[in-house]
Amino acid sequence: MSVDATTVRRIAHLARIAVSEDEVPHLAGELNAILAFVEQLNQVDVGSVVPMTSVSPTVMRRRADAVTDGGYGDTVVANAPMSEDGFFLVPKVVE
C-alpha cells in the first residue's frame, strides 16, 4: 500500500497538522518509505494469533467511584495560552 498526495492531505487533516502544498510530495515519499519497511509483516501468517493487549497478565485495578482530586481551577488553567475566569478560551465554535 502506498500513499498519494490526496491521502497525505487527508491524513494531515485527520491529524490536525497544517501541511503546505510544497511539503506534500516530500511527506508522501517519507511516509511511503516507512510503509514499505513495515510491509514485511505480511510475510507472517497471523491468522489464529491473539493480538497483544497487555505485556503481562494484569487485572485492571479499580477504585471507588468518588471524587478524589480537584478544587484547584486556577492551577489547571495556569499554563493555558488564553484563559479567563478559570475557563480556557478558544475561537468561537458555535454560530
11 lies in the site for another protein, by CB under 8 A? yes
We find the least distance from the C-beta atom of residue 77 to another protein, in angstroms, to be: 8
35 DSSP 8-state letter: H
Residues in the chain, overall count: 95
Binding mask of the shown chain, residues 26 to 45, with x at each position contacting another protein by CB under 8 A = -x--xx-xxx-xxxxxx-x-
- Among residues 77, 72, 71, 69, the alpha carbon closest in space to that of 85 is found at 77
- Report how far residue 29's alpha carbon sits from residue 23's, in angstroms, rounded to the nearest whole number: 10
Per CB under 8 A, the list member of 13, 25, 73, 86 interacting with another protein is 13
Among 64, 81, 84, 85, binds another protein (CB under 8 A): 81
